[in-house]
Amino acid sequence: MLISEVILENFMSYEYARVPLKPGINVVCGPNGAGKSSLLLAISVALGQSYTERSRKLSDLIRWGKDQARVTLILDNSKRGGKRPVPKFNKDQIFLTRVLRRDGKYWFELENRAASKQDVERLLAKLGVDPDNMLIIMHQNMVEQFTVLSPQDKLKMVEAAVGLEAYRENVLEAQKKLTRILSQEESISKLLESAEQTLNYWREQYERLQEKKQLMAKKHFLERELAWAEVNRREDIVKDLEAKRERELALLRQIEEEAKTTEEQLKMYQSELEKLKNEWKKSLNETISLEREKAGSQATISLCEQLLAEASFIENQAQGGRNLKLLKAESLKELIESSRLKVSELDEELTRRMSETRIIEEQIEKVGNQILDARVRLALLNYRMENAKTNVEDLEKALKDAKAQLDAAVKRAEETGPRIAVIKSVGEILDEIRLTDGHLAALAGVSEDVERMYESYSQLYLELKEKARLVAENREKALEEVKARMQAWRTVIQSLLDRVNLEYQKILANSQAVGEVRLVNEHDIEAAGLEILVGFKGGKPVPLNAYTQSGGERTTATMSFLLALQQHVRSAFRAVDEYDVHMDPKNREIIAQMLISTVKNANVQYVVITPSQVTFAEDNVNIITVQNVEGKSIIKEVA
């Protein structure tokens, strides 16, 4: 039992009334206008409903001429199985009050203390009551309203009534999670696409920066290469000057050697000339001596011949007169002969001597020429020696300058880096530097911040890629979770509807009708719905709606479904208002008996509003009558 008593104060037609309720079925009956439905409305308002069919404002429910109304429910909190439903209140009864004021102020009181609606909702949740579910509290005309509900709304209402809304919520939660993940995936995909485009831009700029750095490194290398090429050129100049100096020094040494040799030769030639001159003088003296000796001999011969001639003449003259002998002719002849022989010998000797003299003269002339040549050569050598010395001095000076320039070039080159092998000429290197400078000029606008931006966007892109991967994994997990939860939802709903369908068909059979309860669009939880089919008088089962069946048939089918569902509804309190208005007596009796048998032995409290109590004339039914006496509703419990 949930509600043990309802206390109404200035509520609609009630001035003050206490309505005791018992476990099982409580039938509230009375004529139209007596205030039966007002009692169920009061229970609904106390349980937290804010809008009713009777009025759009709760203040309209206050009794005419009164400023305030109160509805109090005495809730059963007695121990069940050694434990109270609401352990917070250590007592058997809990007083829940709803106060309505004419000025539009409404509030709850729990145990005579102000309480919020959330407090009331938590209390009712512990007691297992959902007052907003049409299948728990069905007000007047709600049978018709249930009939026209969409299959989707019917299914949601059944899920809430039997406590299976958690399965739907799980599916919807999983779908929302999947939607969020898909939205997140789409957002990340867009961000990834945008980041990729931005990254491509910065990658291009980064590549340009790398190209710029490479060009700068290349330029630095070329400058280094140029510096060392200049060193090489300076070294070549130094080597060339040193080679020239060595050649000049070698030439100088050669000239000095040649000059020394020439001087020695000149001295030798002069010595030889002096010797030859001495020999020539000696030969000349000897020749002169021989000429003298020859001249003496020739003079002797001539004298002797003259003497012989004169002697002969004299003798011849003398013979004419007398025989005269002045000289010895034989001695003179011998002397002439010996002189002639000597002259001959002297001629030969003179010829030999003259020949030797000519030879000596030729030798003197030759040596003189050699001396002249030597002197000319020596003069030339001295001239060349002076030139060579001058050249060496000039080369020494040039070499000193070249070495100084080399040292400066080496110092500048070392500032650019260690020495490298250079295979290109300075002109080629300069051409490459100019070309590199041109390329660098084209990349002048590339900032060093590009690398930081590229690394930043690369990191962002990688993070987004990782997020996209994780989101894709989460999407797959979410899809699997949706499938699993959908399967769980379908399983429990289908199992419930299978059992309800069997009971529904049994109840309809008592009214000589056929029908079916089935799940439609089961693969889409948003489109999934509960379809109730019914067929009367041998007719084929058709969907229950407001147009096909008569009022009584709709009520019978709806109540049959509600009765079939009762054993699965988790609420300890249920109510229905004037469900049997359109029923014929037979179906009214059948439904009443089915309701009694359904509630029997169940720990459920049922409030039934009906114009007639005849149908529920049973011992285990608590019958309450309502009469309106002079504008006041009076409650009476039938013993």
For the stretch 44-72, pLDDT in tens is 889 887 555 555 678 888 998 899 999 99
Is 560 a member of any domain? no
- Which helix (H) or strand (E) element contains residue 513? strand 513-520
Check whether 265 has a pLDDT greater than 80.
yes
Q: Are residues 42 and 189 in the same domain?
A: no
Determine the pLDDT at residue 487. Answer: 94
Q: Are residues 31 and 114 in the same domain?
A: yes
Check whether 214 has a pLDDT greater than 60.
yes
Determine the pLDDT at residue 7. Answer: 94
- How far apart CA 609 and CA 19 sit, in angstroms, is 14
CB 130 within 8 A of CB 568: no
Is 437 a member of any domain? no
Percent share of the chain, pLDDT over 70:
92
Q: What is the arithmetic mean of pLDDT over 221-228? A: 89
Of 370, 398, 416, which residue sits at a domain end?
416
Determine the pLDDT at residue 364. Answer: 87
- How far apart CA 268 and CA 248 sit, in angstroms, is 29
Check whether 325 has a pLDDT greater than 60.
no
CB 45 within 8 A of CB 71: yes
User: pLDDT class for 18, splitting at 50, 70, 90?
Assistant: very high
Determine the pLDDT at residue 95. Answer: 93
Q: Are residues 111 and 17 in the same domain?
A: yes
**Which one-letter DSSP state was computed for residue 602?**
S
HSE (side-chain half, CA atoms, 13 Å) at 424: 15
Look up tokens 């121990």; give the residue: 79
User: pLDDT class for 600, splitting at 50, 70, 90?
Assistant: low
Is 323 a member of any domain? yes
User: pLDDT class for 140, splitting at 50, 70, 90?
Assistant: low
Give the bridge partners for 93, in sequence order.
Answer: 76
Is 535 a member of any domain? no
HSE (side-chain half, CA atoms, 13 Å) at 160: 16
Amino acid, single-letter form, for residue 31: P
CB 510 within 8 A of CB 563: no
Is 513 a member of any domain? no
Amino acid, single-letter form, for residue 482: V
Q: From 12, 3, 70, 9, select the one nearest 37 (Cα to Cα).
A: 12
Check whether 488 has a pLDDT greater than 90.
yes
Q: Are residues 304 and 372 in the same domain?
A: yes
Residue 235 dihedral angles phi and psi, to the nearest 5°: -65, -40
Check whether 181 has a pLDDT greater than 70.
yes
Q: What is the CATH number of the domain that holds 595?
A: 3.40.50.300
Q: Sign of the C-alpha dihedral, residues 251, 252, 255, 257?
A: negative
Torsion (CA) 561, 564, 565, 570 in degrees, nearest 10: 150
Check whether 616 has a pLDDT greater than 80.
no
Where in the sequence is the domain holding 320, given as residue range(s)?
175-416
Is 456 a member of any domain? no
The total number of structural domains that make up the chain: 2
Helix (H, G, I), strand (E, B) or coil at 637: strand
Determine the pLDDT at residue 284. Answer: 82
Check whether 585 has a pLDDT greater than 90.
no
- How far apart CA 375 and CA 357 sit, in angstroms, is 26
Instruction: Provide CB contacts within 8 A for 152, sequence distance 6+.
Output: 526, 527, 528, 529
Of 416, 434, 449, which residue sits at a domain end?
416
- Long-range contacts from 178-185, C-beta under 8 angstroms, 24+ separation: 178/475, 178/478, 178/479, 178/481, 178/482, 181/471, 181/474, 181/475, 181/478, 182/475, 184/471, 185/468, 185/471, 185/472, 185/475
Is 141 a member of any domain? no
Helix (H, G, I), strand (E, B) or coil at 520: strand
- Which helix (H) or strand (E) element contains residue 171? helix 165-321
- How far apart CA 450 and CA 202 sit, in angstroms, is 7
Of 395, 416, 437, which residue sits at a domain end?
416
Is 514 a member of any domain? no
- How far apart CA 595 and CA 403 sit, in angstroms, is 125
Determine the pLDDT at residue 485. Answer: 93
Q: What is the arithmetic mean of pLDDT over 138-147? A: 72
Higher pLDDT: 572 or 404? It is: 404
Rounded to 5°, the CA angle 175-178-182 comes to 135
Check whether 78 has a pLDDT greater than 90.
no
Check whether 433 has a pLDDT greater than 70.
yes
Determine the pLDDT at residue 438. Answer: 92
Q: Are residues 184 and 128 in the same domain?
A: no
Q: What is the arithmetic mean of pLDDT over 151-156? A: 90
- Please state, as a whole number, how many other Cβ atoms lie within 10 Å of the Cβ of residue 101: 15
